[in-house]
Structures are given as C-alpha cells and as structure tokens.
Amino acid sequence: MIRVIIPRFYHSACSHYPPFTFASPEKTYLTIGSLVLFETLGMLVGLLSLHARQAAHAGRLERWGARVALVGTMLGTLSTLGEYW
C-alpha cells in the first residue's frame, strides 16, 4: 500500500482556489494559433537557410525535393495563418 503525504498548507490553499486557471476558449485558441504560426515560420526560415547552404552542392533530385518542401511549408504557413485569423 502506498501512502501519499500531503502537506497541510495544500488543503487550505485548495479549498478556495483551484490550482490552475485557464483563459477563455477563444483566447486559448488564438494563443495556440500564434504559437503554431511562429513554429511554421521558423520551419520556413530553416528550410530556406538549409537550401541556401546546400544549393551549390545539390543534385537535381535534391533541388526538386527542396522546391517541393518549400511549397509544402509555404502552404502550411498560409493555411495556419488563414485558420487562426
């Protein structure tokens, strides 16, 4: 049997206030949307910088792969922007 020892101050603090509070669903949705937008923009910048570094040594297949990845990342960024705003 496992016994959990809970300090006394925990009981008194939790009797009146919840341990966590959240914002309204709309504000939470927009906050997550802005974080996802920054993430997809970071992916786009990373992809462009990687392509700029490797373009001189890239073969034909790698150049086409970079173009497809660039188009996909741009569409993902635009769809995230359109979904949240």
For residue 84, what pLDDT band results from cuts at 50, 70 and 90?
Answer: confident
Packed helices 25-54 and 60-84: angle between N→C axes, nearest 10 degrees: 160
Where do we find the tokens 């016994």? 3
**Model pTM score:** 0.62
pLDDT of residue 5: 59
Question: Smallest Cα–Cα separation from 70: which of 56, 54, 83, 51?
Answer: 51
pLDDT of residue 85: 72
More confident residue, 65 or 12: 65
Over the stretch 35-56, which tens digit does the pLDDT of each residue have?
A: 888 898 899 999 999 989 988 8
